[in-house]
Homo-oligomer: A and B are copies of this chain.
Amino acid sequence: MKAHIINIGDELLIGQVVNTNASWIAEQLNLAGIQVEKISMIRDDKDAIVSSLDEAGKEADIILITGGLGPTKDDITKYTLAEYFNTKLVFHEETYGNVVSLFKSRNQEVKDRNRRQAEIPESCIPIKNLHGTAPGMWFEKNDRIFVSLPGVPYEMKPMILDYILPKLSERHDISVIVHKTVLTQGVGESLIAEMIGDWEDNLPQNMKLAYLPQPGIVRLRISATGDEKETLEKQVQEEIDKLKSIIGDIIFGYDRDTLEEVVGRILKEQNLTLSTAESCTGGYIAHLITSVPGSSAYYKGSVVAYSNDIKIQETGVSEETLKNHGAVSEATVIEMARGIRERFGTDLSVAVSGIAGPEGGTKQKPVGTTCIAIACSSHITARKFLLGEHRERNIRKAALSALQMLRKELTKCN
């Protein structure tokens, strides 16, 4: 099955917005066994839209269109599609109900322009928008499927995942593909490739490995193609078990897992509480931990000690340690971890202190130097990392390294 993606929006063509919708949709289609042949970015312009639809319709079985469904003057997609499919706009009660309840929940008044968002082309099947006002629209013409979607990612994504892909998978012209992604933290891509080289070379013919690196995390996506889903899933699991015997220590989860969720799950299961003391990561670790719903069950809170006197006052680091070893040292983070754990009365604590950059580096402690300590009732562990030169990536990598270190210590602490 072949697909074209058409992303509508002037803002894409002046480079004001990076086209993340295209890559996300392409990835989802690819995972579902649908081949994307072309992606086009075009203006909020009737002729441009019509000519793209014509072109796509010649080659693709399914054409996904994003953008231009908002309530303002530049949003012309719906009107253009109604004309293209030779159908008129009709008021859709259910869609209007969705618009009204959305506005109610925000204590806002429904205006005329929002009422117009409930008018939909008569020949389309509307797709409910769970997070916004404009419905998606599913059209069929000459054995082709055309789906119009909002350009706003969190409105568009559920439509793809919960409606479009399931509906498409019912068709017969798609082979079965099973994927499982193994998530690792702490070792770089090239070194992992070396460690698992033999295993990779010996994968069966119908299986593929893809390396998907990100700052601080290397994802290994294993794919198997064939006829029967359960057989393929067994096959993938066998290969993953082999992989675990080689690099099991750095694997923290699978597919959509995040380190913060995995750690949260373990803390919850073992009825343990956590506090954190951050410096260079500036609240990012706390943010990751609390982005998990229900984290208040195990997370008591944190201190971001961005200046040295706050480190002393709030986390109990001694002036002497700061003077003799500096803020970025194993000695300092050990005291921070001990101090915050006692102060917040938690079972475990994490403390991080480092040089995010771009300023602050020296020969002995270059930008990227980061010390992390984990404290539990039985002991405190500290480690030094050298992360890199880029501020934003250093903050991300420091947080991930801290959570991975915490995950590993959770098995050792009693």
Contacts and interface: CB of A to CB of B under 8 A. Distances in A.
Interface string A372-398: 000000000000001011111101000
A414 to B, nearest CB: 24
A92 interface: no
A72 B190 CA distance: 8
Size range of the chain A interface in the assembly: 35 or more
A193 B289 contact: no
A245 B243 CA distance: 63
Contacts of A25: 15
A231 interface: no
Contacts of A72: 189, 193, 211
Most central of A281, A293, A295, A307 by chain B CB within 10 Å = A307
Interface in A313-329: 314
Given A11-B221, A293-B359, A20 B17 contact: no
Contacts of A213: 70, 152
A186 interface: no
Interface in A268-293: 276, 278, 281-287, 289-291, 293
Interface string A195-214: 00000100000001011110
Nearest to A7: B39
A38 interface: yes
Contacts of A295: 282, 306
Given A26-B14, A179-B14, A301 B286 contact: no
26 contacts: A11-B212, A13-B39, A16-B179, A16-B210, A17-B23, A18-B19, A19-B22, A37-B42, A38-B41, A39-B40, A72-B211, A107-B386, A108-B188, A113-B193, A114-B190, A283-B283, A283-B287, A283-B302, A283-B304, A287-B287, A293-B391, A296-B307, A300-B306, A301-B303, A302-B304, A303-B303
B296 A300 contact: no
A226 interface: no
A10 interface: yes
Interface in A18-60: 18-20, 22-30, 35-43, 48, 55
Contacts of A389: 105
B301 A305 contact: yes
Contacts of A293: 357-359, 391
Given A15-B25, A38-B48, A301 B287 contact: no
A344 interface: yes
A253 interface: no
A190 to B, nearest CB: 6
A84 interface: no
Interface of A: 10-20, 22-30, 35-43, 48, 55, 70-74, 105-108, 111, 113-114, 131, 152, 154, 177, 179, 181, 188-191, 193-194, 200, 208, 210-213, 215, 221, 276, 278, 281-287, 289-291, 293-296, 299-307, 310, 314, 344, 357-359, 366, 386, 388-393, 395
A10 B310 contact: no
Contacts of A276: 304
Given A74-B211, A106-B188, A293-B391, 8 more contacts: A13-B38, A15-B22, A15-B28, A16-B23, A37-B42, A74-B210, A105-B388, A282-B289
Nearest to A395: B291
A127 to B, nearest CB: 19
B189 A111 contact: no
